[in-house]
Structure 1
Amino acid sequence: MGILTKTLLGVILAFSLTACGSAPTASRFATPDDTMVGQAPPDVWVESFTVSVPRSLKVNERNLYYPRGDIVWRGEPRGDRHAQVKAIFEAGLRRATPRVSGATAVRMDVQVLRFHALSEKARYTVGGVHDIDFRYRLVDIATGQQIGPTKEVNADLDALAGQAAMAAEGRGDTQKARITAHLERVFVEELTRPGGHVTAKLGLLQQINDL
């Protein structure tokens, strides 16, 4: 689908949501894989972790309603966006790991697949969804063997917009702070909750990310 069509759809859907409220819709990861449903969380604690943000992920700095790309990040001054995203994931992991206390020491390897936050134009007008995808594996420190399958996680987060976004910035609740806190919750849920994290249902704007 062309970027112009996608942008127009985003604007139309956003105004529809403003008028009618957002109806819950199924997201691409709303139902966990059958092999994960009901499974007990791994009995682990995280001794160390790694975060990879592949350089093949494309960055888009254009100020459009919906810039195409794998990484769209405007919550920090322009710079090495791959390094900035890596630091956000590492901060979330550092805050999450002390809250996980199992029997087996593991290394958690995380690979970022997508980090599509909001452009300035979207953040201060129609809003949207922070579309965050990653995969991870757990490796037993003692044996060097992987525990269970590698898992992909969708960690979408609703994004503040307009006056709400500006008010949040004023009290220090920045995009970076919100996303870091969200990732902390996601990692804890993955390692402590049966089935792991369940993607929030964020309405039609979430559907734009799948077009």
Structure 2
Amino acid sequence: MKLKAGLALVAALALAGCDAGQVVSRSAGTASAVTGLIGGEAGQVPVAASYNVTRLDVIVPRSLRVSEENTYVPRADIVWHGDRLGDRYEQVRSIMTEAAQRGTAGMHSGTPVTVQVEIMRFHALTPKARYTFGGNFATRFLLTVRDARSGAVIDGPRIVVADCPASGGQRAMEEEAAGITQRMVIVDHVSGVFQRELSRRIVLPGAEAAVSRNAFQPSDLGLIQ
């Protein structure tokens, strides 16, 4: 009986940390509106991009549900225990802003753009999970890139999945003793995701022809000639 209970718990943790398709509670409506724009869908075309990022806006909607429960699998949109108890929305915004700024730090040439990031899910580990099995830091956000001059949407809105492994047990304690915090791990990983996602655009077949008929030129958009 103990073995079965342990296997069930491991399975539950894996589902909580790795389920890229599940967007909890109030985020679900937004996700369904952009299902056709999720990276990897059939018919989409990744195109190289070169941007000069002039502004970053990170939005953490207050409609997202926060959990302070110290359980293995809290049912919530935001789970964050890496800072002292406080405004979790602002804490998440700070983390994601730092990651976005780091990921776009070298983007100063190409089409001037603004980047909007709307958080849909930010699910780190509770202390109970962190000091036992570990799991995944599960992050989802809606990415929209706009031309800074006209405001026209260049890329998105599309859902970006930015999950990464989260250490547990003895390894987690060793990382903390070495000064490696959960925030550091998340920022380091997510900054790389921003860099990758903003070095390409996801377009539908025929979209390039539509773009060329507008005010933009292919060179402005950083397209491969």
- Scaled to the shorter chain, the TM-score interval is 0.7 to 0.9
1:11 corresponds to which residue?
Answer: 9
2:62 corresponds to which residue?
Answer: 55
Q: Distance in 2 between matches of 1:94 and 1:102?
A: 15
Tell me if structure 2 keeps the 8 A contact 1:70–1:113: yes
Tell me if structure 2 keeps the 8 A contact 1:108–1:137: yes
Consecutive unaligned residues of structure 1, counting only runs of 5 or more, are 1-6, 18-24, 196-211
Structure of greater Rg: 2
> What percentage of residue pairs aligned between the two structures are identical?
37
Tell me if structure 1 keeps the 8 A contact 2:139–2:162: yes
TM-score (norm 1): 0.77
Of the three residues 187, 198, 204, the one matched with 2:194 is: 187
Cα drift, residue 136 of structure 1: 1.2
Q: Secondary structure at the match of 2:47?
A: coil
The C-alpha deviation readout for 1:156-176, integer Å capped at 9, x for no partner, is 111010011011111111000
- Output aligned runs, 1:54-203, within 5 Å: 54-193=61-200
Cα drift, residue 69 of structure 1: 0.5
Change in CA separation of 1:8 and 1:112 when aligned onto 2, cut-off 3 Å: farther
The C-alpha deviation readout for 1:31-73, integer Å capped at 9, x for no partner, is 7123444x21332121111010000101100110111100000
Q: Distance in 2 between matches of 1:182 and 1:154?
A: 12
Which runs of at least 4 in structure 1 moved beyond 3 Å after TM superposition? 7-10, 25-31
Amino acid at match of 1:146: V
User: Number of residue pairs matched?
Assistant: 180
Change in CA separation of 1:10 and 1:152 when aligned onto 2, cut-off 3 Å: farther
TM-score (norm 2): 0.72
Amino acid at match of 1:13: A
Cα drift, residue 12 of structure 1: 3.6
Q: Secondary structure at the match of 1:136?
A: strand
Q: Secondary structure at the match of 2:48?
A: coil
Q: Distance in 1 between matches of 2:91 and 2:167?
A: 20
2:218 corresponds to which residue?
Answer: none
Consecutive unaligned residues of structure 2, counting only runs of 5 or more, are 23-37, 203-225
Q: Secondary structure at the match of 1:108?
A: strand
Q: Secondary structure at the match of 1:11?
A: helix
Amino acid at match of 1:99: G
2:40 corresponds to which residue?
Answer: 32
Q: Distance in 2 between matches of 1:141 and 1:56?
A: 28
RMSD of the alignment, in Å?
Answer: 2.6
